[in-house]
Amino acid sequence: MSRRQYAAPRRPAGEPDDTGCTVLHVDMDAFYASASLIDRPELRGLPVIIGGGARSVVLSATYEARRYGVTAAMPMSRARRLCPQGVVVAPDFTRYAQISDAIMATFRSVTDLVEPMSLDEAFLDVAGATRRLGPPTRIAQLLRDTIADEQGITCSVGVASTKFVAKLASGLAKPDGMIVVPVAEVLGFLHQLPVGALWGVGERTEETLERLGLRTVADLAHVPVETLRAALGDATGTHLHHLAWGRDERVVVRTQREKSIGSDETFGQDVDDPVVIHRELLRLSDRVAARVRAAGLVGRTVTLKVRFSDFTTITRSRTLRDPTDVSRDVYATARSLFDGLGLQRARLRLVGVRMEGLLEAAGAPIQPTLDEPEQGWRDADRAVDRASARFGAGAVRPASLVKDPGVPGRRTVPAGPRRA
């Protein structure tokens, strides 16, 4: 059963019965596309595709573009065929990170039990906030209104007693909606859905279940758990049996510090010119260091990733004496790692830079370098950050990047953050 076929649980007069429904799943609507249009209001209502060159994939698309069949992770070449009138906009990951940080701050103003799943979605446990802010449904609406007013984008919210049901509800509420699943209606909500809606059911598992004649969650729920274990294995069979009966014991886990932050770049065509590669390493290092600073962190380890034309991938890392958030330090290390490979005109498909061993900047032992002037590189980076926040990413760039005409078809994607 598709989302459009789903009928939300009946709501009594007034607010729905959200007693015990203290788990919220908040998911931004077409986040990357919506965020990209904040500064491009003239594109609202048009089919917009967020992505890069022909060898890249779609990062996001507006709902107008999705009507043509364009979806995230689709090759850009196919997206252009499906929607030739679509407007292609290059991604701005610095901007996305800034908006995401503001959204997460809004969540944490309501509860400290926030579990981000990505830049644009999170689980919240609002049990401790109900006395101060009212029932869960009101809190969910407060979040939706605040995000719309302050960030200019919309989100959808699922309100339920478990993480599993809340996430299903938010997906069915899209776009710009909210669904509350009362505790007494959980089974009715679940059992009408297709088995593919259950977490852990991929294509192969769904095929196995359909061969057994199990097409809805209700079908699966009424099969003996021993039969499911025999067909799917003990762990998967037990897991799906529990979910089919609305059992999900996982709790919302407070966010953990980012483990690493990085960015990868896929070239539009394989590159063997070290000058071009150095320039792209500079671009990536500048972007990664800016994201590290924006998160209030510093890093001790710089990792270089290189992917050859035959898709063979290697990584090299170096741990610094002192943690840093300075773009110049990150680039110097990444370039040294690359030059140390001695590739001699090897054809590369992708390069990437990542910072690991992240620490809170406030308490980190940061030492100035001997060649750093009184107003040093760290101060210069922060001035650039302020300019980018005011005038947009790329307003201030290293001179070599200003002169750079760019690599046709280049696609830059964030490779993190990863969480501990």
Catalytic residue positions, numbered? 121
Tokens representing 107 are 């969540």
- Amino acid identity of residue 29, one-letter, is D
Give phi and psi for 89, each to the nearest 5.
-120, 130
Task: Find out whether 27 is annotated in a ligand binding site.
Answer: yes
- How far apart CA 399 and CA 401 sit, in angstroms, is 5
Task: Find out whether 272 is annotated in a ligand binding site.
Answer: no
Tokens representing 222 are 């009424």
- How far apart CA 4 and CA 1 sit, in angstroms, is 8
- How far apart CA 386 and CA 377 sit, in angstroms, is 14
Binding site: what residues are annotated? 27, 120
Residues of the binding site for Mg(2+): 27, 120
